[in-house]
Amino acid sequence: MLKLISFLFMFATSLLNLASAERSTHIVHMDKSFMPKAFASHQHWYSSTLNSLKSTSPNSDPQKPLELLYTYDNVFHGFSAVLSRAELEAVNKLPGFVSACSDRVATLDTTRSTEFLGLNPVTGLWPAANYGKDVIVGVLDTGVWPESLSYKDDGMTDIPSRWKGSCDGGYDFNSSLCNKKLIGARYFNKGLLAANPDDRDKKYSARDTDGHGTHTSSIVAGNYVEDVSFFGYARGRARGVAPRARLAIYKVSFREGRYASDVLAGLDQAVADGVDVISISFGFNSIPFYEDPIAIASFAAMEKGVFVSTSAGNSGDTPRRLHNGIPWVLTVAAGSMDRSFGGSITLGNGLNLRGWSLFPAKAVVKDSTLVYNETIAGCNSTELLSEFHGGTIICDNSSSFSSQILFISESNADAAIFISSDFTYDENSFQYPGAIIRPDEAAKVIDYATKDANPTVTIKFQQTFVGTKPAPMVAEYTRLGPSPTYPGILKPDLMAPGTLVLAAWIPDDRVSNIGSNIGLSNSDDFNLISGTSMACPHGAGIAALLKGAHPDWSPAAIRSSMVTTANPLDNTGNPIREINGFNNPIASPLSMGAGQVNPNSALDPGLIYDATAQDYMELLCSINYTRKQIRTITRSSYNCSKASSDLNYPSFVSLYTSGTNASTQNFKRIVTNVGDGAATYKAKVTPPEGSVVTVFPETLVFRKKYEKRIYSLTIHTKIDENNQVTYGAVIWVEDNGKHSVRSPIVVTPKISSDDS
C-alpha cells in the first residue's frame, strides 16, 4: 500500500501546476512489471492513473473526463488516452513509463482487395510465398505504361536466369524501360494488320494506349506505391496481389481490334519465354475449344506446368453466356468488396446518412435548400428541371440513375440526392454533385424535405468507407455459367474482387475528363475500374503466390486448392448474394463458383483434386470431337481408346434432360492428401433441393502425406416441371477440424446448342 500511495503522490505532485491545454490521443507504452500489487489488473492500474490525473488537475473541466481509449496486454503493454502536452509530460515521469507517441491516421490500402481477402505480412500466404518472389506472371492485354510507379523495381532481386524473354522496342517504347519488375514487353499485331491493311502505316509497340492492360497487370503484381487515389477516393498505398512477382507483358489487344491469331502468338511466346502464370482478362464467346485460341494455347501451357487464369466475361444476368469455360484453366467471376465511396449527407434536423458518390472534387454542398417536388422528382425532363433554380433536389426511383444524372447536370441545381434500388455501384463516373441513397432511407429524407419549414442539406464528398456489409456480393455484370461450350464442368470456378478496383492507369484524358466539368484532373494516374477483367488478375496473383509456396504443385492442384477453400459466406456469416435490385437473391454456383477465393486457406487445403493432360484428353473424347479437332487442342494423335466425361474436378455438375421424371448420375473422384502426415476425413453432404446424394465411402483414411484415396458420389434427382437449377455441396471434414474441403454440387437441365 505504501508503494501505491507513493506512486499516486508522485503523480499528483507533478500535476499541481498543469495548465489547461488542447488534448490529443497518445499511445503510452508501460513496463507492466512496475504495476503496484494493490492493483488487480493492468486495466485498473491505467484507469486509476487517469483518475488521479483528473482529480489533481486544477484547470480540468469536470464535465469532460479524461478518456481511456484502449488498454493493451498482448502485443503491447500500455494504453491509449486523450492527453494534453502537460499531462503527457506528467505521465512520462511515472514509474514504469517506457515511451509514448501521438496517434496516427491509418492509411487505407487502395487495392483494398488484398486486405479484404485476408492477405497480411504476418501469417498465411504472403510470407509463405515470399510475396511471389521470382514467380513470373505473363499478362496478355492492351500493353503496359512502363513509367507507372507500379512497375518500379525497388526491392526486386536479380531476374531469374531461367527467363528467356525480351523487352522489345517500338513506337514510343524503349527497351530500356524494362527492369527487374517489368522484365519483358512484346506486342503481336500481325493478325490485326492482316485484317486491316489500311492500318499498316500506323506505329505500334507494347505501350498501353487504353489503360486496361496497365490496370490488370498492376493488380497481379504491381510494386508498392504510396499515397495514391482516384480523385481523392480510396487514398492510400497500392500494391499488387503478388508484389514481388515479375511481370512480362504481351500486348495482343489494340484499339483497332483483337484477333485470335495475335492472342495465340502472345500465348505461345509467353510459354516459350518461361512464365509461370498467365493472366488473360478477355475471351472468345460461344466457340468450341478447338477454335478458341485461349483453350488451345492454355492446354500446352498446362502441360508445361503453367497456370492460366481467365475472366468469366461481363454483361451478365443471362445463364450460359460465360466465356472461358475451359476445363484446364481457372475461370473467375467478379464480386464487390467491403469498401464503398460516397458523400456524408447531413440534414438540417441532424439526421446523418452515408450516400454513395464518386463526385471527383473535394467539395462541400453546405446548407443547401432541400427540395422534393413530385412533379420533377423523376429528374428525367430538361424542360421541367429548367424551372428549378438552386438547392438540392431529391430524385426518386422512377428512372435510372445514369439518365437522371445527365438531366441534373444540365439543370441549375446545387446538387441532387438520388434514390436507387441498386445495392452497390460499379461505375466510376459521377459528373455532378450528388449522392445515392437506398429506398429504405428515402422516406425520412422526403418527410423532412416536405414538412420542415426550412429544410437544408450538407454533403461532403471524397469519403471512403471500409467494413461495408454484406460483402462480397456477386456483381450484376459478371456472366453466368454453365459454359455453353461444355456445361459438364462447373464454371465459373470461384469469385474474386472485381468491382471498383483501384490500380495503375495511363495518363489518359478520358480519366481526366471525369472531373473536367469542374476543372479537375487525376494526377495520380490510378483508376477505379469494374469488371471480371479485374477479378481475373486477382486469381492469377493468388496462383503466383501458391506457385511460390508450392513450386511442385500442378496447375490443377493449385486450382483445386483455390476452389475447395473458397468461402460461400459473406462478412455477415450468411450465404453470398447476387446484386439484383431489391431482391438480391442468394448466389448460385453458376454465378460465383465455389465462392470467394480465400488465399490463406488455399495455402493449406488438406486435400487436392489433381488432373493430368491425359485426363483432359479423355474428357475431349467424351464430347464427340473428331480426332483432328482433338489434335488441334492437344497437339497429339490421341486415339480416344478411353473416353470419360468424369474429370477429376473439385466440383460436380449433374445434367438432366427436361421432361423426364428423374435423373441419376455417378461420379468418381481421387483426392490426394497434401496435409502433414496421417489424416481421417468424413463426408458432410448438403444435397441440392429435390436430390439425394450418396457418398461411398463416407470416411477416407490417409496414412501419410501424398497418399491418394478414391470415392464415388451419386446424385439422384426428382425432376419437376419448372426445370430449376438447384445446388448443394459435399465437404470432407478432417477429424481434428483442421481442414474442410468443400466441393459445390449443381443440378441443372441440359440445353441444346440452339438454345445457347
The pLDDT value recorded for residue 168 is 96
Please tell me whether residue 71 adopts helix, strand or coil conformation.
strand
Between 5 and 98, residue with greater pLDDT: 98
CATH 2.60.40.2310 domain residues, the chain: 607-611+647-749
Q: What confidence score (pLDDT) does residue 73 get?
A: 63
Cell of 381: 425532363
Given the residues 217, 218, 530, 533, the one annotated as active site? 533
Kindly report, as residue ranges, where domains of CATH 3.30.70 are found in the chain: 2-102
Tell me the C-alpha distance between 182 and 190, whole Å.
24
Q: For the domain 117-337+474-602, what is the CATH code? A: 3.40.50.200
With a cut of 60, say whether residue 620 has pLDDT above it: yes
Taking alpha carbons only, the member of 713, 680, 710, 709 closest to residue 695 is 713
Secondary structure class of 126 (helix, strand, coil): helix
- What's the pLDDT score for residue 216? 97
Task: Report residue 659's pLDDT band, with 50, 70 and 90 as the boundaries.
Answer: confident
Q: Is residue 26 annotated as a catalytic residue, yes or no? A: no
Contact call for residues 474 and 494 (beta carbons, < 8 A): no
Cis-peptide into 470, omega within 30 deg: yes
Domain span(s) for CATH 3.50.30.30 in the chain: 339-460
Reference 625, options 297, 322, 296; nearest CA is 296
Which pLDDT tens digit goes with each residue over 496-509?
Answer: 999 999 999 998 65
Provide the pLDDT for residue 511: 53
**In sequence order, which residues have a C-beta less than 8 Å from that of residue 535 and are 6 or more positions away?**
311, 312, 332, 333, 334, 335, 478, 495, 496, 497, 498
C-alpha 676/C-alpha 606 separation (Å) is: 8
Q: What is the mean pLDDT of the chain?
A: 87
* Rounded Cα gap, residues 89 and 14, in angstroms: 9
Sequence-ordered alpha helix ranges (H) in 232-355: 260-273, 293-303
The pLDDT of residue 55 is above 50: no
Q: Could you tell me whether strands 225-230 and 97-102 are parallel, antiparallel, or unpaired per DSSP bridges?
A: unpaired
- Residue 65 has a pLDDT of 59
- Measure the CA–CA gap between 135 and 277, rounded to whole angstroms: 8
Question: What is the mean pLDDT of the segment spanning 412-420?
Answer: 91
Query: For residues 242 and 129, what is the distance between their CA atoms, to the nearest angstrom?
Result: 9
Q: Which residue has the cell 515479375?
A: 246
Least confident of 124-133, 185-194, 562-571: 185-194
- Which is the catalytic residue, given 141, 396, 570, 615? 141
Confidence of residue 583 (pLDDT cuts 50, 70, 90): confident
Is a pLDDT exceeding 90 seen at residue 513? no
pLDDT tens digits, one per residue of 441-473 = 999 999 999 999 999 999 999 889 899 999 999
What would the DSSP string read from start to end of 281-298? -----S--GGG-HHHHHH
When pLDDT is averaged across residues 116-130 and rounded to a whole number, the result is 95
Class of domain 339-460: alpha beta
pTM here? 0.84
Strands 364-371 and 352-356: unpaired
Please state, as a whole number, how many other Cβ atoms lie within 10 Å of the Cβ of residue 40: 9
Catalytic residue among 77, 212, 323, 739: 212
Q: Which residues contact 490 (CB under 8 A, 6 or more apart)?
A: 481, 482, 589, 590, 593, 649, 651, 652, 653, 744, 746
C-beta of residue 309 within 8 angstroms of C-beta of residue 280: yes
Residues 138-173: tens digit of each pLDDT = 999 999 999 999 999 999 999 999 999 999 999 999
Q: For the chain, give every residue range classified as CATH 3.40.50.200.
A: 117-337+474-602
Q: How far is CA 732 from CA 350, 445, 607, 696, 701, in A?
A: 53, 50, 9, 12, 11
Share of the chain above pLDDT 70, in %: 89
Q: For residue range 211-252, list pLDDT tens digits in order.
A: 999 999 999 999 999 999 998 899 889 999 999 999 999 999
The pLDDT score that the predictor gives to residue 754 is 43
Q: How far is CA 494 from CA 480, 481, 562, in A?
A: 12, 11, 8
Tens-digit pLDDT profile for residues 587-605: 999 999 999 999 999 999 9
Q: Is the pLDDT of residue 18 over 50?
A: no
> What top-level class would CATH report for the domain 2-102?
alpha beta
Residue 508, classified by CB atoms within 10 Å of its CB into exposed (0-12), middle (13-18) or buried (19+), is: middle
pLDDT digits (tens, 9 = 90+) for 347-390: 999 999 999 999 987 778 899 999 998 888 899 888 888 878 88
Strand-pair partners of 364: 460
Q: Find out whether the peptide bond into 121 is cis, omega within 30 degrees of 0.
A: no
CATH architecture of 607-611+647-749: Sandwich (2.60)
Q: Cα separation of 326 and 487, whole Å?
A: 10
The dihedral region occupied by 6, where left means phi > 0, alpha psi between -120 and 50, and beta the remainder, is alpha
Is 44 part of the annotated catalytic residue set? no
141 is catalytic: yes
Least confident of 423-432, 626-635, 731-740: 423-432
**Residue pointed to by grid coordinates 428512372:** 399
Instruction: Say if residues 80 and 30 touch (Cβ distance below 8 Å).
Output: no
C-alpha 175/C-alpha 209 separation (Å) is 17
Q: Give 518 or 277, the one with higher predicted confidence.
A: 277
Q: Which is higher by pLDDT, 345 or 2?
A: 345
Q: What average pLDDT score do residues 132-141 get?
A: 97
